[in-house]
């Protein structure tokens, strides 16, 4: 059979043939398929012309298949079964899922969901693996576009057309001071007071798409030098900087984490968490609560395992004490 002949085959003709085989009658097959007898007879004639065989002969009790028809039936049945499986709804079997999920997220956002996520994956998808890392200096969407990451989480305003996103909620920033900082005994501090001393930042990125960037630009126009003395993604470096009197500017989740860790560690001094200075809140378009989005590539949108992962992360983050829900 030539390629042009193959193109003449369609699923309807194959289904018609198998139904006639099963019923032994064109009229009964037509009733079963909900078509007219002339229409089904026309389909049968197409098959006869295509395979150059009568396929069925009339007998007193109905139609009798030829040897060619029996041969075709044995070949077509597996094809139709495969097509039925192809059209069957996908089923997610988490217990037997062997999948590596790659997530890009900064530590301030990671703190809000990592504990319940690890518990969920361990219990529900024990054969799955997680690869979690922070953002590099390149485009926030490059890893998603290239397939090197499955999910991204960040404070961001917009995404390219082939990247889907969902607002998880809003998170505040804060100031963390130790007893070594000159402003430790104050209940709140002004921006001028904060910038009069050295600061350290932990994952408060000012890339061009960040929701912090507009606020940073406004502060610079007002004459405030907001460049930190130290930028780091290391927990140990940050703790040492706080210990030595630097003020940490970070997300509230990281602020609470450092407060707990440093209070429990003998070699570290007492720390306190303060709100962001009111001058910053007043000019910030989000009033100190910045949007956090989860985003993924379009190709993963209908992937059941991917959906399970991202919906779990969204739920865990929204249930965390640091996340303000979307309005």
pLDDT tens-digit map of 34-85: 999 999 999 889 889 888 999 998 887 788 899 999 998 999 888 888 887 7
Q: What is the DSSP letter of 203?
A: S
What is this structure's pTM? 0.71
* 231 CB neighbour count, 10 Å cutoff: 16
| Lowest-confidence pick of 104-118, 122-136, 150-164, 293-307 | 150-164
Both tokens of residue 40?
């089904």
| 173 and 288 Cβ atoms separated by less than 8 Å | yes
pLDDT at residue 284 tops 80: yes
In the predicted model, what is the mean pLDDT of the chain? 86
Q: Is the pLDDT of residue 207 over 60?
A: no
Q: Is the Cβ–Cβ distance between 285 and 215 less than 8 Å?
A: yes
pLDDT for res 223: 85
In a 3-state reduction of DSSP, which class is residue 270?
Answer: coil
Calculate what percentage of the chain has a pLDDT beyond 90: 38
pLDDT tens-digit series, residues 303-316: 999 999 999 999 99
* 8 Å CB contact between 273 and 176: yes
Query: pLDDT at position 234, please?
Result: 82
pLDDT value of position 212:
67
Q: Cα(248)–Cα(175) distance, rounded to whole angstroms?
A: 6
pLDDT, position 134: 83
Domains present along the chain, CATH in parentheses? 3-87 (1.10.10.10), 99-327 (3.40.190.290)
CA distance linking residue 215 with residue 210, whole number of Å: 10
pLDDT band at 225 (very low <50, low <70, confident <90, very high): confident
């Amino acid at each position: 059979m030539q390629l042009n002949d193959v193109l003449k085959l369609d699923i309807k003709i194959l289904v018609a043939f198998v139904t006639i085989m099963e019923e032994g009658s064109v009229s009964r097959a037509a009733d079963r398929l909900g078509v007219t007898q002339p229409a089904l007879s026309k389909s049968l004639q197409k098959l006869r012309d295509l395979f150059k065989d009568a396929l069925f002969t009339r007998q007193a009790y109905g139609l009798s298949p030829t040897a060619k028809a029996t041969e075709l039936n044995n070949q077509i049945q597996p094809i139709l079964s495969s097509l039925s499986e192809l059209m069957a709804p996908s089923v997610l079997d988490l217990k037997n899922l062997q999948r590596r999920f790659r997530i890009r997220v900064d530590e301030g956002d990671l703190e809000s969901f990592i504990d319940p996520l690890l518990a969920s994956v361990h219990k529900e998808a024990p054969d799955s693996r997680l690869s979690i890392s922070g953002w590099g200096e390149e485009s926030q969407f490059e890893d998603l576009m290239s397939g090197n990451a499955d999910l991204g989480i960040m404070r961001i305003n917009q995404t390219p057309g082939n990247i889907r996103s969902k607002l998880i909620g809003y998170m505040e920033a804060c100031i963390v001071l130790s007893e070594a900082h000159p402003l430790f005994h104050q209940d709140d501090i002004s921006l001028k007071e904060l910038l009069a001393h050295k600061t350290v930042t932990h994952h408060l990125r000012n890339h061009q798409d960040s929701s912090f960037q507009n606020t940073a630009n406004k502060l610079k126009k007002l004459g405030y030098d907001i460049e930190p003395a130290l930028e780091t993604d290391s927990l140990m470096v940050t703790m040492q900087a706080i210990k030595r009197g630097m003020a940490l500017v970070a997300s509230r989740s990281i602020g609470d984490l450092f407060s707990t860790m440093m209070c429990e560690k003998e070699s570290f001094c007492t720390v306190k968490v303060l709100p962001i200075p009111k001058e910053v809140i007043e000019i910030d378009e989000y009033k100190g609560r910045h949007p956090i989005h989860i985003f993924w590539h379009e190709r993963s949108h209908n992937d059941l395992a991917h959906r399970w992962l991202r919906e779990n992360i969204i739920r865990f983050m929204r249930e965390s004490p640091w996340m303000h829900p979307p309005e």
